[in-house]
Amino acid sequence: MLRAGWQLLFRDACRFSVPASWRDDGSGSLVLAPDGSSLSLRSLHVSSWSAYKAQLKSAYGTPKATRDDSDHRLWLEIGEAPLVQHHISVAEGLNVCSALLTVRTRSATDSPDVIKQIADSIGSIPEGLQAR
pLDDT digits (tens, 9 = 90+) for 48-96: 999 999 999 999 999 999 999 999 999 999 999 999 999 999 999 999 9
Per-residue model confidence (pLDDT) at position 116: 97
Note the pTM of the prediction, 2 decimals. 0.92
Share of the chain above pLDDT 70, in %: 96
CATH architecture, domain defined by 32-126: 2-Layer Sandwich (3.30)
Per-residue model confidence (pLDDT) at position 129: 66
19 upstream amide cis, omega within 30 of 0:
no
* CA distances (Å), origin 17, targets 35, 54, 106, 107: 17, 27, 21, 18
Mean pLDDT of 18-24: 96
27: pLDDT strictly greater than 90? no
Mean pLDDT taken over the chain: 93
Backbone φ and ψ of 7, nearest 5°:
-125, 145
Residue 32 pairs in a beta bridge with 23, 38
Residue 78 pairs in a beta bridge with 85
Mean pLDDT of 95-124: 95
Per-residue model confidence (pLDDT) at position 132: 46
Residue 43 pairs in a beta bridge with 97
